[in-house]
Structure 1
Amino acid sequence: MGDIIVARVVFGAQSFRRDRDLVARTPDHILFHLYNVGGFNGLISGHQTTLWSSQVAIIDLGFEVDTFATSSDTVSLIVPRALLPNLAGGPLPPRLDPARNRLLAAHLMALRERSLFLQESEVAGVVEHTADFLQALLDPVRSKDLAQQEQEFETCYVALAEQAIRNHLASPDLSPELIANEIGVSRATLYRMFAPHGGIMRSVQERRLLAVRAALSDPLETRRLSRLATDFGFRGKVHFSRAFRAQFGVTASEFRAEQVASARKSERTGLDVLTLWWDRLGAVR
């Protein structure tokens, strides 16, 4: 996506080592790794670190890495260092405090979900916004201002609300009250935040449909449509089928078939493709 890579990454238990020679020979990127399942222990960004589910690892690839990870399901964001020019020298912190970790995790989930449906004309703006957000979050001075002025950063609260919706998509108790309580705002504030989007419950419905669409776009997804409908909070398969077709103009079965055919044609999941992206990321064009 422009000069960044965002992807879901699923892997079995493994060790990962990046020594001085590899650091010298390979691109100087920064990896933000949100663990939805699993975790690891070891050396990253110059620090011995243990990290588990719901936490974001900040892996500075300008430094040696020596870790062992359990089987994990993650969302990864790879950013060339050149996109974050205002960060101080030295290794980055391997993880953030709980408040900033929550904001970063919400941003990564929203970015990965949105990346599946971005128009080419939107990419540059999203990349610029992500770089600005990361620099504010990682800069000690700007992050304090961000924490103190969080009420004014409505986009942060929208991201947190979207994360709360994702966390409770299958719950029959998903309601404005639950979302407002989880992110720490009043219902009136929540309604105001989502008024430009057609209202909070419309956003919940759209988020459920986008979650199903994202799942159907994932080559690793094997659940049946009926199971996906249940897992994402729809009252039944008929309700889900009608809503999906009304939103996207095709049936869920047709969309899944299109995605499978596209993945086979483009070989999007091939390791050689990832290696090519990695080497070209942030290169001068």
Structure 2
Amino acid sequence: MQPQPIPGGCVSSFFTVNNLPMPERYDVWKDSIKCLFDVDADKAVREKDFTSSIESHLFGSLMLMEMKTRKQKWHRGYNQIAGNGLDHYGVGVFQQGAFTCEGGKGGTELKPNGLVIYDLTQPFEARTDDLHSLLWIFPRPLVEELLHCPEDHAMRFLGPGDPMVRILYDQLMSISQNVHSLNHQQSLDIGKTLSVMLANCLNTASGPRRETTHERQGIIKMVNMRRYFRQNLGSPDLNPRRAALDLGVSRSKLYNYFAPYGGVYNYIRDLRLKHAISLLNDPLRARYSIYQIALECGFSSDASFIRAFREKYDVTPGEVRNRAQVKEQHAINATGLVDKRYEDWLYGLT
């Protein structure tokens, strides 16, 4: 299927293995979807009547994927997180098929007309029946600063009993039905609106409560602190003492704010490692040495960078770089039968 451009609006693509010989279908699907998830299916599912398709729409800063496939297990681990560097939130809407995750927040099974939230920087395991689902991809900058606890929503189930969830669900369904008609400005406006609605759902996910002025001030301070650390990430002398001074808070107060993240040092390290993943997978930096990457991320040496990276992701920066360099960077595979442009679109979201 050829792209369907709307002037200044969305572009669409259609990935399917359904036109391939049956013995090839599952392997082609598994190889393509690994940009998001590792998958596994029973032998009977893989070898008999396996089907899979993804219709993708890229508009504004958002991406919508309409997925139809067979019963499978889904997994995203630290090795894969390090390998592809995707730093997005996802919102799943299931029109058909059960979705279960033992480590889910707010439950273990998605309820009809509910939503499931993915954080592609965190690992998870889940199971689905034969499914028809919509997956909305939000670049992290669109949502993160609107959230009270941006790291606390991987595999979060949002139930239809919450009116904000019902409203967001209806909006997502309506937009998916009208995606081809949106122009560029409408796409941008919708991205901002949906980001606010999603943040509101997540910020009250544990139950509605009345915020005091003191609590609201604390939230605003936390947003400013996270922004400060991102802006100063490459500085090698970024530390709690300097941060407290620049932010105008006491060191003890700073430590209290970041205690849920394992402390200030741990928070800074994780931010630097996430940034390193994006640099290691960036073709424009393919000639950068590991030492240059380390310095750009604020590490004092390549040795300390490699040690921290291996500790977090169980692979070395060099291994991630090598995978990125051998990865095929084309949209449609050599047979010309499978449209894989959605993979490149995922990496280009900002």
**Matches for 1:1-285 after TM superposition, within 5 Å:** 1-25=59-83, 26-43=85-102, 49-84=108-143, 85-87=145-147, 88-92=149-153, 94-97=156-159, 98-99=161-162, 100-140=164-204, 144=208, 270-282=338-350
Choose between structure 1 and 2 for higher RCO, CA contacts under 8 A separated by at least 6 residues.
2
| Alpha-carbon distance in structure 1 between the residues aligned to 2:98 and 2:339 | 23
Secondary structure (helix, strand or coil) at the match of 1:62 reads coil
| Alpha-carbon distance in structure 2 between the residues aligned to 1:118 and 1:22 | 34
| Alpha-carbon distance in structure 2 between the residues aligned to 1:42 and 1:137 | 20
Structure 2 CA distance for partners of 1:50 and 1:81, relative to 1, 3 Å: same
Q: Which moved more, 1:43-52 or 1:99-108?
A: 43-52
Letter of the 1:19 partner, please give it. Answer: G
Secondary structure (helix, strand or coil) at the match of 1:51 reads coil
Verify the 8 A CA contact 1:18 1:66 in the aligned structure 2.
yes
- CA deviation map 1:104-133 (0-9, x unaligned): 211210121221211123221111111122
Letter of the 2:146 partner, please give it. Answer: N
Secondary structure (helix, strand or coil) at the match of 2:174 reads helix
TM-fit CA distance, 1:68: 1.4
Rg larger for? 2
Structure 2 CA distance for partners of 1:32 and 1:103, relative to 1, 3 Å: same
Structure 2 CA distance for partners of 1:17 and 1:96, relative to 1, 3 Å: same
Aligned residues: 160
Q: Which moved more, 1:36-45 or 1:119-128?
A: 36-45
Structure 2 CA distance for partners of 1:271 and 1:47, relative to 1, 3 Å: farther
Structure with the largest fraction of helix: 1
Verify the 8 A CA contact 1:56 1:105 in the aligned structure 2.
yes
TM score, norm. by length of structure 1: 0.50
Letter of the 1:279 partner, please give it. Answer: Y
TM-fit CA distance, 1:52: 4.5
TM-fit CA distance, 1:27: 0.8
| Alpha-carbon distance in structure 1 between the residues aligned to 2:106 and 2:79 | 19
| Alpha-carbon distance in structure 2 between the residues aligned to 1:89 and 1:55 | 20
TM-fit CA distance, 1:273: 0.6
Secondary structure (helix, strand or coil) at the match of 1:123 reads helix
| Alpha-carbon distance in structure 2 between the residues aligned to 1:118 and 1:15 | 34
Structure 2 CA distance for partners of 1:55 and 1:72, relative to 1, 3 Å: same
Percentage identity across aligned positions?
A: 18
CA RMSD of aligned residues (A): 2.8
Verify the 8 A CA contact 2:102 2:108 in the aligned structure 1.
yes
TM-fit CA distance, 1:46: 6.6
| Alpha-carbon distance in structure 1 between the residues aligned to 2:121 and 2:105 | 10
| Alpha-carbon distance in structure 1 between the residues aligned to 2:90 and 2:103 | 10
